[in-house]
């Protein structure tokens, strides 16, 4: 259950046996059904999750409609870090697209790992830097890309997930209705062939 998480952290820094045991005791298993939420807007994000199995999407409500801005899969962390770190209300939703097996950790246990492992702060910094990069790229894409460019961005970033994500959610990510997505996909396929 913990092997993927330990393997990921060992790619950043070599963990000692005591550190491995601390990480195992700090993360708790959580299963989420398809369609259920890891986080709902209007609530405080109390845990960081590591996805062992499954797929989630991040979305917000924009003009009364869902606007998807990210997908996260196995081997990656999930959270609204601003809400988690500042204990403030989140405007984001994190919803399971598939049944998910997640390991979760609360704020106090994160701080314990940061403060008691030899490279705890490095691990935390690299995770937060990765999340920051993803969020900046998503923000820039919303303001600087047209719908076709957003679809190309989706293909670039999530080509391994395209069969796992329903078309209406891809349309939500691109910022169009599903019918418009079909037209964009046809044009995209013509340009490739």
Pairwise CA distance, residues 13 & 122, whole Å: 8
- 92 found inside a domain: yes
Share of the chain above pLDDT 70, in %: 97
- The answer to whether 131 and 92 have CB atoms below 8 angstroms apart is no
| Domain CATH number, residue 88 | 2.60.120.10
Pairwise CA distance, residues 157 & 70, whole Å: 10
State how many domains the chain has: 1
- 132 found inside a domain: no
Looking at residue 159, what is its pLDDT?
A: 84
- The answer to whether 43 and 92 have CB atoms below 8 angstroms apart is no
Looking at residue 192, what is its pLDDT?
A: 66
More confident residue, 184 or 88: 88
- 69 found inside a domain: yes
Q: What is the mean pLDDT of the chain?
A: 88
Query: Is the per-residue pLDDT at 193 higher than 70?
Result: no
- 17 found inside a domain: yes
Digit-coded pLDDT (tens) for 143-167? 778 888 888 888 888 888 989 999 9
Digit-coded pLDDT (tens) for 69-121? 889 999 999 999 889 989 999 999 999 999 999 999 999 999 998 888 887 77
Q: How far apart are the first and last CA of the chain?
A: 43
Query: Is the per-residue pLDDT at 123 higher than 80?
Result: no
More confident residue, 119 or 181: 181
Digit-coded pLDDT (tens) for 8-20? 888 888 888 988 9
Pairwise CA distance, residues 92 & 55, whole Å: 16
Looking at residue 142, what is its pLDDT?
A: 66
- The answer to whether 88 and 41 have CB atoms below 8 angstroms apart is no
Per-residue confidence at 55, pLDDT binned at 50, 70, 90?
very high
- 60 found inside a domain: yes
In this prediction the pTM is 0.89
- The answer to whether 81 and 107 have CB atoms below 8 angstroms apart is no
- 91 found inside a domain: yes
The residue range of the domain holding 46 is: 3-111
Looking at residue 117, what is its pLDDT?
A: 82
Max CA separation in the chain (angstroms): 56
Per-residue confidence at 170, pLDDT binned at 50, 70, 90?
very high
- 80 found inside a domain: yes
Question: Phi, psi at residue 41, to the nearest 5°?
Answer: -55, 145
**H-run or E-run covering 23:** helix 17-26
The separation between CA 2 and the C-alpha centre of its own chain, rounded to angstroms, equals 18
- 40 found inside a domain: yes
């Amino acid at each position: 259950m913990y092997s993927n998480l330990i393997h990921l952290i060992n790619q950043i820094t070599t963990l000692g046996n005591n550190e491995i045991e601390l990480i195992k005791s700090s993360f708790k298993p959580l299963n989420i059904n398809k369609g259920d939420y890891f986080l709902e807007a209007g609530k405080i994000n109390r845990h960081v999750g590591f996805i062992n199995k499954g797929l989630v999407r991040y979305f917000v409500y924009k003009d009364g409609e869902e606007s998807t801005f990210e997908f996260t899969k196995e081997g990656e962390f999930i959270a609204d870090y601003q809400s988690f770190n500042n204990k403030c209300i989140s405007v984001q939703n994190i919803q399971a697209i598939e049944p998910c097996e997640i390991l979760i950790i609360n704020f106090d246990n994160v701080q314990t790992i940061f403060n008691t492992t030899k490279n705890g702060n490095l691990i935390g910094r690299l995770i937060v830097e990765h999340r920051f990069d993803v969020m900046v790229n998503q923000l820039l894409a919303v303001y600087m890309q047209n719908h076709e460019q957003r679809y190309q961005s989706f293909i670039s970033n999530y080509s391994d997930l395209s069969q796992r994500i329903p078309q209406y959610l891809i349309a939500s990510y691109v910022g169009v209705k599903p019918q418009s997505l079909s037209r964009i996909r046809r044009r995209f396929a013509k340009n490739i062939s």
